[in-house]
Amino acid sequence: MNNIKIVKADKSHIPQMAELITQNLGTCNLIKGANNDVMARNIAELTDTVDYYRVAIDDNGTVVGLCGIGEVKSDNDYELDIGKHRDVLYVVVSRDYQRQGIGTMLLKSCLKDIHDYPVIYEAWGEIKNGDVNSYKMLAKCSFDLLADMGTSFYRDHGYCPYCVNKGKNCHACFCKIYIYK
């Protein structure tokens, strides 16, 4: 494995960060009426929030992962009584670098500066082996399951037409909310 360095993100990282998000997360984060140019939307979002992110850089200076934790919020999309909290914006690692602990390093790096409010992580995806693909990372970072929103949350909130699986009409993605206190 290349030597990976975790650094605070800056504007020069945004194009590579947006590319990682676009390649690895698809379109299911789009909502009705949103700009359907996923790359442009990701660049705009990152431009506004780059100060909340850390990136993993390889020996060549390439961004191979990113993680961000947002500003304090009072509300949430889950109708849960959480109170003031912060959301994990993204944890994304290039496919070539996954399963090497980079996501865990990034999340831990972001969490080390957060001491004011709980941090919420929305884990989603197709049901495989009964748990989210990030459950090991969440456990290593001391997150606990807060709520299992089941498999209808995304369908009931209008995400399915924008999912990468929209042609399958599966309605099988689950949503689990984890909390770090």
The per-residue pLDDT for 1 is: 46
Provide the residue range defining the domain that includes 138: 5-180
Could you tell me where the beta strands, DSSP code E, fall in the chain? Answer: 5-8, 53-57, 63-69, 86-93, 119-126, 144-150, 173-180
- Measure the CA–CA gap between 121 and 114, rounded to whole angstroms: 14
Q: What is the CATH number of the domain that holds 90?
A: 3.40.630.30
Q: What is the pLDDT of residues 114-146, one digit of tens each?
A: 999 999 999 876 656 656 668 889 999 999 999
- Measure the CA–CA gap between 146 and 178, rounded to whole angstroms: 5
- Measure the CA–CA gap between 87 and 48, rounded to whole angstroms: 15
The per-residue pLDDT for 163 is: 61
The per-residue pLDDT for 47 is: 92
The per-residue pLDDT for 32 is: 46
The per-residue pLDDT for 152 is: 79
* CA-based nearest residue to 127, from 87, 91, 176: 176
* CA-based nearest residue to 65, from 26, 28, 23: 23
The per-residue pLDDT for 155 is: 73
If one counts the domains in the chain, the total is 1
Q: Which residues of the chain have pLDDT under 50?
A: 1, 30-33
